[in-house]
Amino acid sequence: MAKRFEYSEDIGYPVDRVHATLTDPVFWRHRFEEAPEKLTLDESGGPGTLTATMRDSISASSLPGLVRKVVSGELRVERADEWGPLDGNRADGRIRGSSTGIPVRIECASVLRASGEGSVLELIGSVEVKIPLVGGQIESLIKKLVRDMVGQDRDAVEKWLGDS
């Protein structure tokens, strides 16, 4: 059974600037400048939209012990962030994640909205791991990874905007 989650992160910049960053190919290429082959960008959704798909490989030896028990070899993970256009003070998006080696599915609805002088990024989603007995424990680990990922995204956006 999938585990649901809700996370939010405050971002200290106006929603229009944050959205412009999240839909800017230059921002994403900068984040992946050391491994550009791990990033695919799709701007075909129209102005003010972007889908950034990230792929990575993780060796089993660097995974938590619980996960190593069910994975042999390399784990390939994929994450796709989709952002729609800014509509007033709000933009809707979606985050999806999957992997080979573990039958995992991550689905999130994301909302970027204005909040005072800054912005808030909200995620509502679920993670499902279809492995008998230990799937629920792995789902809990992945929920924490998603929360960490959202914090890293916030940090990257704030650094980018602070440097510009």
Range of the domain at 101: 3-163
Residue 81's CATH number: 3.30.530.20
Structure tokens at 8: 């939010």
Tell me how far apart the alpha carbons of residues 149 and 143 are, in angstroms, rounded to a whole number.
10
Measured at the CA of 94, the angle between CA 93 and CA 98, to 5 degrees, comes to 160
- Summarised one tens digit per residue, pLDDT across range 47-103 is 999 999 999 988 877 777 877 777 777 888 999 999 999 999 999 999 999 988 888
Answer whether residue 133 shows pLDDT above 80: no
pLDDT at 37: 94
CA distance 134 to 138: 6
Q: How many domains does the chain have?
A: 1
pLDDT of residue 75: 82
Q: Which of 22-36, 48-62, 140-154 has the highest mean pLDDT?
A: 22-36
Per DSSP, which regions of the chain are E strands?
A: 3-11, 39-42, 50-59, 74-83, 90-100, 104-115, 118-129
